[in-house]
Amino acid sequence: MNTALLFPGQGSQTADMRDQVARVRPDLLQLVAEAVGEDPFPRVDDGTAYAQPAIFCASLAGWCALDRPVPEFTAGHSLGELGALVAGGVLSERDGIQLVALRGRLMQEAGEAGGDGGMIALLGGDAAERADEVAAPHGLSVANDNSPQQVVLSGPRCALPAAEQTARELGLRAMILPVTGAFHSPMMATAVPEFERALAGVELHAGNGSTVISAVTAEPFDDVRARLVQALTGPVRWREVLLALHARGVTRFVEVGPGKVLSGLAKRTLKDVELVSV
């Protein structure tokens, strides 16, 4: 039985995750405060600049609570890719914290600078199949292909109400999300140059034998730096990641971060698998 560790992205935060980090890895609290410039946990709802590093640390703490297992596969949703690369032995913890703090800040700044970006979630039995019918007429793009029943679109905020109406006409439920930018879309392009420069200075390691799956390609990471940069402006292909892992023999999925978001998505996408949330 193959196992995959799953590292969540934004939206998985819980009220008690700082306490969990303090109990399991108190050293991370100082490291992340230095990287962000302050403790990000009290401000986790103030934007992605704080949410990303806080969730990343909580995910590392969850992994450490399991005694740092090295499974056959690891994968991460959006910012969770950095946690998966740490667990896979490709990135050091310190570099991961620095990168996720920078990534969160750059994405928040890109969203605020643009000022007119937003996201809308499509929910329903055939959301994945019909997402393009909603996105294309309104100049939106798929940001998160999460499960057969959940897809998130990104693009100009002014286009979201019309997209919401189109979705409902197609029999889908739609919800405009309270976010500050069109994440995982071309509207994040201003975040790319600085993040690319930071990645160029980071040492990458051969890994510890765990295969890390990219959420950009739904394949094992090839060029780690290129794929992490591409993830800023490209979609999270999470449904395809889960299907790819299952096709590789994974029947046990362990979500190590806060919350149970990824376990829920796996339950909606796969059958006859074991789901564990830490």
Q: Catalytic amino acids? A: 78, 184
The DSSP line for 7-27 is E--TT---TTHHHHHHHH-HH
Which residue from 212, 235, 273 is spatially nearest to 131, judged by alpha carbons? 235
Cα–Cα distance for residue pair 138/159, rounded to 1 Å: 6
Decide if 197 contacts 228 (C-beta within 8 A): no
The single-letter DSSP state of residue 223 is: S
Element (H, E) at 169: helix 160-169
**190-to-70, 99, 239 alpha-carbon distances in Å:** 35, 16, 27
**Whole-angstrom Cα distance, residue 82 to residue 97?**
9
Nearest-angstrom CA–CA distance, 202 and 139: 36
